[in-house]
């Protein structure tokens, strides 16, 4: 699966993914009003507004990018109506030729991890029939349970030709409370990185593994170390833009071949129209603002590679 993502990155010359993480506050008033008029101020109304918002952004950016990353929590907050829109968004993006990274951050004991993997990247057996639940190409995974929690995901990846991004060094300010703690003189994130390489060896796909790593753009010196520790691991890089990471910061996430990382931007793209830089587009043309923000992000990142 990682080779399919790499091919799309090379074709678009855009090592980025758009985070489809919609909050109602990001959605222009005219869309929300229309959905509420049709469905009321209900979970169904909120979910419809999210769907209309997502569809416009995808329609205006799909030809520029290789991938999207919907964060499932933004949909779960609206219950079953929200999850239905998550699934609808996944399928729509796939129809547009995009690789979908389901940002679900799951991880548990073996049987539970196996069920998560089945639901999100695998197929569930129902009598004589087999069904894909959400059917994303990649998912994010929390490694806190160790091999017991990760290997079931790797097994499904191998069976279904899917991929993972394991949390290694995240972009949030308090990530160091655990991830930077020294164990036998080394930070925990380095030990996790070594396990990711071990797990990745079970699922190689050419020069890179289907088992990738989440490495935040907000800690460039750490990403430099992690790149050396994980030369054959693809990085999913959050933290660019709204969280403070710059193109200069994230260049260490890439290998000399210009590959090795895909950079995410969520509100920096989907809520671009709210930024002063893109205010000229206005709320009515929010999707055009998102398209321009994608082009600017691609140019910015490519300028340092």
CATH top-level class of 1-303: alpha beta
The confidence score (pLDDT) of residue 245 equals 72
Enter the tokens of residue 193.
Answer: 């990185």
**Residues of the chain whose pLDDT is less than 50?**
none
Which whole-number Å values give the CA distances from 297 to 233, 269, 287, 301, in the listed order? Answer: 23, 9, 15, 6
CA distance 66 to 259: 13
**136-181 pLDDT, tens digit each:** 999 999 999 999 999 999 999 999 999 999 999 998 889 999 999 9
* 192, 194, 195, 201 alpha-carbon torsion, rounded to 10°: 150
pLDDT in tens, 202-233: 999 999 999 999 999 888 889 999 999 999 99
pTM summary value: 0.96
Residue 243 pLDDT: 65
Q: What is the pLDDT of residue 251?
A: 86
| Predicted local confidence at residue 242, as pLDDT | 65
CA separation for the pair 196, 264 (Å, rounded)? 20
Active site residues: 105
What residues contact residue 133 under an 8 Å CB cut-off, 6+ apart? 118, 119, 120, 122, 124
How far apart CA 100 and CA 89 sit, in angstroms, is 10
């Amino acid at each position: 699966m990682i080779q399919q993502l790499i091919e799309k990155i090379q074709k678009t010359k855009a090592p980025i993914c758009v985070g489809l993480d919609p909050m109602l506050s990001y959605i222009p008033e005219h869309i929300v009003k229309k959905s509420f008029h049709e469905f009321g101020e209900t979970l169904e109304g909120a979910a419809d507004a999210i769907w209309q918002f997502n569809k416009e952004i995808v329609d205006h950016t799909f030809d520029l990018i290789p991938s999207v990353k919907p964060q499932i929590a933004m949909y779960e907050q609206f219950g079953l109506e929200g999850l239905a829109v998550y699934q609808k968004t996944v399928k729509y993006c796939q129809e547009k030729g995009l690789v979908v990274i389901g940002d679900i951050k799951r991880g548990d004991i073996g049987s539970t991890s196996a069920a998560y993997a089945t639901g999100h990247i695998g197929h569930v057996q129902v009598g004589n029939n087999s069904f894909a639940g959400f059917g994303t190409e990649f998912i994010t995974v929390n490694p806190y349970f160790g091999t017991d929690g990760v290997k079931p995901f790797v097994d499904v990846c191998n069976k279904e030709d899917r991929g993972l991004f394991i949390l290694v060094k995240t972009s949030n300010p308090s990530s160091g409370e655990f991830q930077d703690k020294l164990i036998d003189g080394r930070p925990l994130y380095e030990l996790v990185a070594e396990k990711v390489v071990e797990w990745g060896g079970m699922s190689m796909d050419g020069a890179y593994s289907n088992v990738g790593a989440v490495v935040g753009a907000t800690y460039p010196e750490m990403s430099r170390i992690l790149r050396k520790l994980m030369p054959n691991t693809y990085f999913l890089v959050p933290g660019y833009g709204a969280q403070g990471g710059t193109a200069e910061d994230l260049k260490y996430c890439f290998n000399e071949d210009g590959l090795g990382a895909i950079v995410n931007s969520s509100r920096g793209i989907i809520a671009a129209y709210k930024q002063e830089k893109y205010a000229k587009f206005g709320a009515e043309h929010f999707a055009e603002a998102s398209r321009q923000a994608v082009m600017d992000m691609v140019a910015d990142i490519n300028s340092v590679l």
